[in-house]
Chain A
């Protein structure tokens, strides 16, 4: 390499590579005990590339390791949907919402639930699984659980395709309400991150917590309206039922996809939203407290 080669220049002399965010070269970085960072979120933004590449790694590895990686993402929700439709719709003869096919009703509930549950379990395991990174390199730790959710989001994307196929099969034409889907997805993501951060930090502190997570998820499946419509829940139980943050998300999905769900944004909806908000806020707070000691404990 000659001296005239532009690559030979030091980085600071390359304005095109010099990122002001990540390069606090001219400011002092202060490390102190229990220093709550004022730039927490700004710093997080600076590490967005690392976030992207870690998410990409998880996806690449997942679809490389299992030769039926993509197929798996399709088979799982499909089979569950068939089982739920047969058991709840055909055997238990539970009512659908309006005249929607029961299979579509189940699948519309299944989509957010499966996203939520896979996101939670990968979030809970993420810190332990990446402990080699956490003990060797600094970055905002929240990137790890957040990136682990992306794999579930990709699976969710595949499931959306199945839903589209299913709706075509049943000639079910969605209404304008379908446009509200991103809102519901956003709430699902917020609920997953909030709960996921809680589980991730508990999992680091108490290593046997990992046995609790599958149990919680199994329980959650039954107290969420996945296989049935919320309409069959007695009115006086509705408010208690809404404490489950996924109730609002699932019913929101049904509202958007089936058109006329059993759902109206009443107090139950706002209660669910409040729970999601609380989970997200407390989850982030707790995680930020735990992340300071992460490398010492893990």
Chain B
């Protein structure tokens, strides 16, 4: 056993009065002065004094609300287990990781850890833009807990892995964001702790490189019996790396020995309205075994394979599913496509029930070929996932392939105004005209 968690809890006090997380000295002083002034008022008698005191206490209590980010958490992790931590936002995943990596202190309970822990809560922690790539490798390595000798020994390997020999002495501020992430990942992928704690960071960078990083971490874990804890919204990543699931819901955790069961429980917790109907697990499992994605790629307007699109660009999704022994009538099988953002939120669903499919030829009993032409992608810049599903009726899905392929939306002048739609302006880009008089 390498990690034992007992009755772990973390309480946060939410301050309502000042919206900032930190206090200002003047606030503290003026609050105290106000309370004192109330007490020193010559017209207040003893009773009023007490009332004033009570009033002050009540004000203070109203200003602070308790919030348990984690409560009564108990689990044990054995050596070599690869645990996926999933759950909806605010479920306590990040708090749990931060406690395990000793960044924040728990409020109650106890954690025992055996072995060197490396936590990767962010890619490129501590990278300094003014320093060169070479210098940043040393800096980042040291911050992640590698010794200087260790970095020296692995230096060439890291550089080769990042594929950026010629930019080693360029300050990182001149790097493209892709290069930056690659270098940061390369350092992280060469960590050799007994316990690796990873948060969401795998969701950035280009897909091919990402694959290599995950592959490297995974083989390292397999070979040396390393313990890995991964927080991710991506079911695909969790499925490919993990063999245990820790489901965080409203500060409580559920331990699942079976990945499939854990993911099913997670999806159950995600489905809220009647519109989001999950297939019953046994049926889906049977179909999922016999159905597979033969090929899947995205094309731009010129018919070239692409994974980066500008806002408002058209996109063609080409999908081939092999249906060797999928149950149900071949004619009634209908594919579905879901666009999900990096945080796991479904943004759009396009399927053969909503769209009336055009049959371009006789149906092949073994292979289904689907082309989905999306006229415009009115999505804000970011990384998006495409979920693929197969159904034989609008309410029952046979197989789901979450996060099957990813694409990226780059900034562009969508409204042709010279201004770029930015983050924090909402996820919808609505075509509109504005007249002014």
Contacts and interface: CB of A to CB of B under 8 A. Distances in A.
B386 to A, nearest CB: 30
Contacts of B20: 207
Contact of B99 (A26, A31, A205, A293): A31
Contacts of B21: 297
Interchain residue pairs A-B with the least CB separation, the first 6: A206-B25, A138-B102, A31-B111, A11-B192, A53-B142, A208-B24
B107 A33 contact: yes
Given A7-B154, A295-B98, A296-B12, A25 B194 contact: yes
Interface in A38-79: 49-50, 53-54, 57, 60-61, 64-65
Contacts of B142: 49-50, 53-54
B74 interface: no
A27 interface: yes
A28 B2 CA distance: 9
Given A10-B224, A17-B147, A132-B125, A31 B22 contact: no
B121 interface: yes
Contacts of A34: 105
Contacts of B119: 136-138
Interface in A90-127: none
B114 A205 contact: no
Interface string B88-108: 000000000011111111111
Contact of A28 (B109, B114, B139, B192): B114
Interface string A136-155: 11110000000000000000
Contacts of B102: 31, 138
A293 B137 CA distance: 29
Given A53-B142, A209-B25, A17 B125 contact: no
B224 to A, nearest CB: 5
Contact of A61 (B131, B153, B194): B131
A30 interface: yes
B33 to A, nearest CB: 15
A31 B113 contact: yes
Contacts of B131: 57, 60-61, 64
Contacts of B24: 206-208
A257 interface: no
A292 B103 CA distance: 9
A131 to B, nearest CB: 11
A204 interface: yes
A285 interface: no
